Amino acid sequence: MASDSTAAKGERRARVTAPQLARLKRQGQPIVMVTAYDATFGRLIDEAGVDVILVGDSLGMVMQGHPHTLEVTLDQMIYHARCVRRAVSTALLVVDMPFMSYQVSPEQALISAGRLVQEGGAEAVKLEGGGREDAVRRIVSAGIPVMGHLGLTPQSVHEFGGFRVQARDEAAADRLRRDALALQEAGAFSLVIEGVPATLAREVSASLQIPTIGIGAGVGCDGQVLVMHDLLGLEDRFKPRFVKRFAELAEQVRGAVGAYAEEVRTRSFPGDAHSFAAVSAAAPEPPKAASGGGGYGPV
């Protein structure tokens, strides 16, 4: 929706809304979605001009260090959503419903979704799996937009026996086709398709009116999503086939922190330029220290 030049020029963009994503699909404009989990990256990613920021439950892996997303709680999702919310002014803010926050009943799903909106500042919620139409209808009936998520749904990792490409055989592909249509009919405004054959994702995308957002689902979806740690190369221990790194920040972080450690150990940092003088009665008031980051800014 926003061009690079718009973001680079610092021009103010209009807020992205859930209904606008369907318009982007109709206009044939690819939808850009990225995850974020804190205010700093939320701001930077928003300023880069993406359409959708997802506070994903992938935070269980990239922020908390778990091997999957199953231990993430609703309170933790709300905490991270609040952090990102404070920093995002333009992109649509979608927040994941974590494991066991919507599976029990449509009422439980509505209460959880309501908390993500009221306490977390979500503008839409995302939930995983087919057969959840009752929950979707209940949430949508309260005015909360719902994004579906089919294919390799990480909350079902134990059922799948690992993070494996899904819907490779015709029976599973057919189930996914039916689930996608059912989600659309239940009122979902968009659908993430993860880890399925590209031909299937293309076919499903063409069959739906709502936009699909792919991850590991080829080039035929209406948009793409990546986890920010993958996109930025902050996770450099492994690189799944569907990931493209647009930066190598892990290397840069190690280099920068290594350089800092070296300078501290050799006493080249801090220098006079990073030090403050005392106020003397004769001297004029010194300038205030600059704000920002961890600086001594105005509070």
- Rule CB under 6 A: which residues touch ligand KIV? 35, 54, 56-58, 96, 192, 194, 215, 225, 227
- What is the rounded distance in angstroms from the CA atom of residue 143 to the CA atom of residue 124? 9
CB of 56 to ligand KIV, least distance (A): 2
Q: 148 vs 285, which CB is nearer to ligand KIV?
A: 148
Q: What is the DSSP string of 201-243?
A: HHHHHHH-SS-EEEESS-S-SSEEEE-HHHHTT---S---TT-
CB of 276 to ligand KIV, least distance (A): 43
Burial profile 197-221: b = 16 or more Cβ within 10 angstroms, e = fewer = beebbbbbbeebebbbbbbbbbebb
Residue number of the CB atom closest to ligand KIV = 56
- What is the rounded distance in angstroms from the CA atom of residue 50 to the CA atom of residue 226? 12
Which residue is it, tokens 């800092």? 260
CB of 260 to ligand KIV, least distance (A): 31
Q: 58 vs 190, which CB is nearer to ligand KIV?
A: 58
The DSSP H or E segment spanning 57 is: none
DSSP state of 156: G
Q: 193 vs 200, which CB is nearer to ligand KIV?
A: 193
CB of 291 to ligand KIV, least distance (A): 32
Q: 110 vs 192, which CB is nearer to ligand KIV?
A: 192
**CA separation, residue 16 to residues 31, 89, 249 (Å):** 11, 9, 28
CB of 162 to ligand KIV, least distance (A): 16
Residue in 170, 194, 235, 263 annotated catalytic: 194
- Neighbouring-strand partners of residue 226: 34
Q: Answer for the pair 151, 110: CB distance below 8 angstroms, yes or no.
A: no
Q: 5 vs 153, which CB is nearer to ligand KIV?
A: 153
The token pair that represents 227 in the structure block: 């986890």
- What is the rounded distance in angstroms from the CA atom of residue 214 to the CA atom of residue 210? 13
Active site residue 170: no
CB of 104 to ligand KIV, least distance (A): 20
Q: 96 vs 222, which CB is nearer to ligand KIV?
A: 96
Length of the chain: 299
**CA separation, residue 194 to residues 15, 95, 279 (Å):** 26, 17, 60
The token pair that represents 243 in the structure block: 């990931």
Residues classed as catalytic: 194
